[in-house]
Amino acid sequence: MPTRTVAVASAVGLHARPAAVFVSAVIDSGLDVSVALGSGEAVDAGSILDVMALGARHADVVTLSADGDGAAVVLDSLVALLSRDLDAE
Task: Give residue limits of the domains in the chain.
Answer: 3-82
pLDDT band at residue 87 using 50, 70 and 90 as cut-offs: confident
Residues 6+ apart with CB under 8 A from 30: 68
Catalytic residues: 15
CATH superfamily entry for domain 3-82:
HPr-like (3.30.1340.10)
Q: What is the pTM of this model?
A: 0.95
- Taking a C-beta distance cutoff of 8 angstroms, is the pair 19, 12 a contact? no
- Taking a C-beta distance cutoff of 8 angstroms, is the pair 60, 7 a contact? yes
Q: pLDDT digit string (tens) for 18-68?
A: 999 999 999 999 999 999 999 999 999 999 999 999 999 999 999 999 999
- Taking a C-beta distance cutoff of 8 angstroms, is the pair 57, 16 a contact? no
pLDDT at 88: 81
Task: Give the helix/strand (H/E) hosting 45.
Answer: none
Amino acid found at 1: M
